[in-house]
Amino acid sequence: MARKMVYGINDTPPFFITLLSGAQHVLTLFGSTTLVPLIFGPAMGMDALQIASLISCVYFGMGVATLIQTSKKLGSGLPIVQGSSFSFIPSVMTVIALYKASGPETVMQYMGGGLIAGGIILSVIGYSRIVGVIRRVITPVVIGPVIMAIGFSLAGTAVQGNAANYWPASLGVVVLIFLFSLVLKNKYINIFAILLAIVITYCVCLWLSLRGTFTPEHPAYINLARVTEAPWLRDVRNVILPWGMPKFSLMAFAAMIAGFFATMIESIGDYHSVSYASGVDDPDSETISRGIGAEGMCCALSGVFGSVGTTSYTENIGLIGLTGVSSRVVVRTGAVILILMSFVGKLSALIATMPSPIIGGAYIALFGTIGAMGIQVLMRADMSSQRNILIIGFAFLMALGLPGWVEANQSLFMNETQSQLMHTLGGMVWAVLKTPMAVAGVCAAVCDSLIPGTDEERGINVKPRGI
């Protein structure tokens, strides 16, 4: 059974409770939302001040997106937080690989163009109610492998790209996350487990850096010089198109489409989960359509704001289940706090000093959890069915194996002997097939739609077993 609500969706708690509960939502999403720009910034060659600017853009974009999503006219009206999406990481990494040589501003312009174009399409799919038809194709048998592919395909980014730079710091983060989330039985410590683990490890690395144990060449060294240089307040003129005018490329668009597909199916599941956690009926087609439409609009606006792709946050759904506070007003208050935070320049600059080993430790815990959540989604389907086992195994194996082969054989998809049209189309196919969650989604959706199976077997209209 869902937890008894202390404050329901339409309730307005006293001001002090509203403020603290809203801040708690911000603290819950803070770690995950901050980690996404901390992945993209170094990958595209940004310096510390540019990463700080990207973090500010992300906070602003996610705050605006949450306000839109919680609107009963524009969005689902559910108390669901929007944050930076891990589903876009493989897609954006493809865009970075394509345009990194031109500099980080150029990468952000192409990413912005992809978000605007894909966001408009997703918005049309939602507001036109086409998503009602798509729901029959997007079953737990499809959603599960896609989410598993998102999490587990990022193992290299977590380990080789970050954690392996200095294992003591990264493993320290992992140990603290396990301690705070699983061993200590305190609901507030449990809620802020990731944030506490990162802050404690950061303070230790900062102390070792200040006393000279860690030198500037050390992977865990922290240099606060950039924080001193950063302004206290961000210039409001940089809110719109901070990286320049968006650039549109069919290859970048094709790579981003895979991310939109993943976030759409992830969000449909989240709308059901947040309704269950809030003690209300499952969302109807109208609610889901507005939610997906709003998500597309928010992604397009993120492209304008110089931010990253947005999606609903499962962590905050869990917070509702833990606290019994599902008030829409509380979530919207959290969104306003996030927007105000985006204008504090030194806060973003401080976050941008986070050493890669600490980030790697958080990635190990978060990416593994995301992959495991895909397994949790599969619990809605009949996993004793040989049909489902074969489909899921095939889709997940292809998601792990095919993208590497596709990336290594780029010349099979596009080369100088092709016409411009075929070169562009080949590049689009290449961008999609080198994205693990796109491969998982396509393989699972095709097999699940063509191979006969009952609704119960496929997990259609099966309620979640808990939050």
pLDDT band at 467, cuts 50/70/90? very low
Please state the rounded mean pLDDT for residues 421-437: 78
Closest of 119, 113, 48, 112 to residue 82, by C-alpha:
119
Q: What is the pLDDT of residue 464?
A: 53
Q: Is the pLDDT of residue 88 over 60?
A: yes
Question: d(Cα 346, Cα 278) in Å, to the nearest integer?
Answer: 36
CA torsion angle for 236, 70, 38, 187 (degrees, to 10)? Answer: 130
Q: How far apart are CA 221 and CA 215, in angstroms?
A: 6
pLDDT digits (tens, 9 = 90+) for 354-399: 888 988 888 788 778 778 878 878 888 999 999 999 999 999 999 9
The pLDDT value recorded for residue 239 is 86
Which pLDDT does position 171 carry in this prediction?
95
Can you name the residues that pair with 233 across neighbouring β-strands?
Answer: 344
What b/e string do you get for 256-279 counting C-beta neighbours within 10 Å, with b at 16 or more? bbbbbbbbbbbbbbbbbbbbbbbb
Q: What's the alpha-carbon Rg for the chain, to the nearest Å?
A: 21
Specify the pLDDT at position 273: 74
Residue 286 CB coordination number (10 Å): 11
- pLDDT tier at 191 (50, 70, 90 boundaries)? low
Percent of the chain with pLDDT over 70: 94
Report the C-alpha gap between 460 and 454 in whole angstroms: 9
pLDDT digits (tens, 9 = 90+) for 10-29: 888 888 888 888 887 887 67
Average pLDDT of every residue of the chain: 85
* Calpha distance 368→376 (Å, rounded): 12
Element spanning 291, H or E: helix 285-305
- The percentage of the chain sitting over the pLDDT mark of 90, rounded to a whole number, equals 36
Look at residue 319 and tell me whether its pLDDT is greater than 80. Answer: no
**pLDDT one-digit tens code per residue, 221-238:** 998 887 888 788 887 777
For 245: left if phi > 0, alpha if psi spans -120 to 50, otherwise beta; the answer is: beta
Of 25, 23, 65, 8, residue with least CA distance to 314: 25
DSSP codes, 217-284: TSTT----HHHHHS-SB--GGGSSSTT-S----HHHHHHHHHHHHHHHHHHHHHHHHHHHHTT-PPP-
Composition of the chain by helix, strand, coil, percent to 5: 70, 0, 30
Give the predicted TM-score (pTM) of the model.
0.76
The mean per-residue pLDDT over the stretch 129-153 comes to 81
User: Range with the lowest mean pLDDT among 181-195, 297-311, 383-397?
Assistant: 181-195
Choose between 87 and 225: higher pLDDT: 225
pLDDT tens column, 284-299:
888 999 999 999 999 9
Is the torsion defined by CA of 52, 341, 327, 73 positive or negative? Answer: negative
Check if the beta carbon of residue 250 is closer than 8 Å to that of residue 257: no
